[in-house]
Structure 1
Amino acid sequence: MLIALLILLFTASKAWLAWRDRAERTPKWWLGVGTVAAGVVGLGVVASQDLVVQKALGLLLMPASVAWLLLAGLAIAAWGARRRRTAIAATAIWVLYTVAGNVWVGNALLGSLETRIPPRTPASLPGVFDAVFVLGGGTTLGSDGRPQLGSGGDRLALAAQLFAERKTLHLVASGNSMAGLDMERDLAEETATLWRGMGVPDAVILSVGTPAVNTRQEIAAYKRMVDERHWENVALVSSAWHLPRALALCEKAGLKVTPLGADRRGRIASWSPLYLIPQNFGFDAVQVACYEYLGRWVGR
């Protein structure tokens, strides 16, 4: 991978020089063009024998990476042309784009949220909960219209496991889609459908019974259920990175819960040159973490 990176940087620099001096067409210029061609061939040879290089080239051909390379090219060209303001702006945008799509940055941000929720296994939990509340957002709809586990589906699996290990008497589902962002969906019913498929009996599954389109409304609905049913020992399950914000809302509502984190994504990825390239995993993690911090700040 290192050899491929050096070849790529060398070839890119020669290509830029050839483009800059394209009007001259001197023997030196043609030698530069030949060097670029040789570099491309060499890169192809290395890529044919290195799976990591193949993966990197594939990533660089994706739309997000192409935009990243174009921004880098714009910044380099601006510095070369001594257009200082344009160069500074292009470089700043490139750096921001690089950070926003970086896997390590995204995982570190998520990890900073998840570390506030200590991991606990069902077997380590004392006693039996009156109910386990599961925040909506763990389901999605397939192309056939049937509910399926989404990226946050681990929360549903954890709740089902708690029931299977006799750690709770009830599982409570909640959530509705927000008008204008999605088609009308009953997230609580989608969750219940998937729980039934996991072997959870209907008698165990409850719904808050009122529309709730955000975490604050879901917490308010849980509080009403606890008061009406006189439950004393309840748990709250959601993605571990989402629970700090949810717990702050529980505190405001006067709802005491045991937090159980699922869907932990904050593990710092091992070193790989692939993670230097902005990619979907990085953009997703950074956006999720920033949204959680923003939600905590505005109190929703």
Structure 2
Amino acid sequence: MFFSLSKLVWLIAAPSTFLILLAAAGLLLGLRWRRFGMGLAALGVVGLLLAGFGPFGRMLLIPLEQRFPAYVEDGGRVDGIIVLGGTELARITAVRGQPSFHEAAERILAMGELARRYPQARVVFTGGGGNLRSGPLQEADVVRMALPQIGLPDGRVTFERLARNTAENAQLAKELVRPRPGEKWLLVTSAFHMPRAMGCFRAAGFPVTPYPVDFRTAGDRDFFRPFRSAASGLVFFDLAVHEWIGLAVYYLTGRIDTPLPGPQADHPSGGNPSR
């Protein structure tokens, strides 16, 4: 129920969609109530311009990307690597017959690089599908097809094929790998998504070390940088708002323990805090 409801609500709540609908509704209402309708239409248009050309998408995304620092090799043993799905284009893969990914494909590239760097580590990919309607392929199927391209044999990766969101990624991955106390597992996902992912793994009782990839900004230097095209700005704004709403909803529904999970000084591996 939670999964389906979240997908349906976002169809309208995505800022770019909501603002377009607001402008269209304003124009229609303006036929009957001119001042009120034109006010709504103007609000929608101004919102689209600000979100599209202004720096607000980057402003919202940078604090998420900066929340967990990039991983620094410490020379210690790595027992396992968890890679979260969400970058796979399963429908296009099924039609074209070759693995297709969107701009977060760094997750899969990192999986290949880390698997070679730590040959003794278990590698787990978790991801079933994030769409309301299941297609002919799951996220895991797309990644399996791509293994030869990143230089990994089929048996090197264990696939979890049922998870539909981040909370399920954490819970099902824990059930699959059954981590032992003291083991070090790296968690690979997009930098802006890492706070919510870490919160879910902590809530599931699975201590992991963050390995953020797929950075979308250059950090603080991009804070006031506007966009050259409205399309690019709206994509950033939608992405950032989606992640902040996700954090709020996950916190309010008990899927994470804090509104904005961050590093824990007394748990450098990102493990569970004492509660």
Q: TM-score, normalised by structure 1?
A: 0.63
1:282 is aligned, of 208, 229, 233, to 233
Are 1:111 and 2:62 matched, yes or no? yes
1:184–1:292 distance in 2 versus 1, CA, 3 Å: farther
Contact 1:128-1:168 at 8 Å conserved across structures: no
User: Which residue is equivalent to 2:82?
Assistant: 133
Distance in structure 2 (CA, Å) of the matches to 1:248 and 1:261? 14
Task: Tell me, yes or no, if structure 1 residue 198 matches structure 2 residue 150.
Answer: yes
CA RMSD in angstroms comes to 3.0
Runs of 4+ in 1 over 4 A off after TM superposition: 83-87, 228-231, 269-272
Check 1:99–1:207 CA distance in 2 against 1; reply closer, same or farther (3 A cut): same
The structural deviation recorded for 1:204 is: 2.1
Shift of 1:178: 4.3
Q: Secondary structure at the match of 1:185?
A: coil
CA contact (8 A) 1:216 1:249 kept: yes
Letter in 2 for 1:132: I
Q: Identity of counterpart residues, as a percentage? A: 26
CA contact (8 A) 1:173 1:192 kept: no
Over 3 Å counting, the alpha-carbon distance change for 1:87 and 1:211 in structure 2 is closer
Rate the CA distance shift 1:168–1:117 in 2: closer, same or farther, 3 A: farther
After superposition, give the CA deviation of every residue in 1:231-266 in whole Å (9 maximum; x if it has no partner): 711111000111111111112111110011111002
Q: Residue deviations 1:91-116, cap 9 Å, x none?
A: 32222112332362212211121000
The structure 2 residue matched to 1:166, chosen from 102, 114, 118, is 118
**Alignment check: 8 A CA contact 1:103 1:285 kept:** no
Aligned residues: 219
Preserved contact between residue 131 and residue 233 of structure 1 (Cα < 8 Å): yes
SS in 2 for 1:147: coil
Contact 1:130–1:231 under 8 Å retained in 2? no
The answer to whether the 8 A contact 1:174-1:218 is kept is yes
Aligned pairs for 1:63-212 within 5 A: 85-86=36-37, 88-102=39-53, 104-120=55-71, 124-140=73-89, 141-142=92-93, 143-166=95-118, 169-178=121-130, 180-181=132-133, 183-208=135-160, 210-212=161-163
Judge which range, 167-176 or 251-260, deviates more.
167-176
Asked if 2 retains the 8 angstrom alpha-carbon contact of 1:103 and 1:283, the reply is no
Contact 1:226 1:232 in 2 (8 A): no
Q: Determine the structure 1 residue equivalent to 2:7.
A: none
| TM, length-normalised to structure 2 | 0.69
Report the structure number with the largest CA radius of gyration: 1
Counterparts in 2 of 1:286 and 1:168: CA distance versus 1, 3 Å: farther
Counterpart of 1:149 in 2: which secondary structure?
coil
The structure with more helix, counted as a fraction of residues: 1
1:220 to 143, 162, 171: 171
Give how far 1:270 is off.
Answer: 8.3
Structure 1: 5+ residue runs without aligned partners?
Answer: 1-63
CA distance in 2 between counterparts of 1:262 and 1:111 reads: 14
Q: Which amino acid aligns with 1:153?
A: A
In structure 2, what is the Cα distance between the partners aligned to 1:251 and 1:131?
16
| Whole-Å separation in 2 of the counterparts to 1:181 and 1:287 | 22
Shift in Å at residue 271 of structure 1?
5.5
**Paired residues of 2:62 and 2:223 also in contact (CA < 8 A):** no
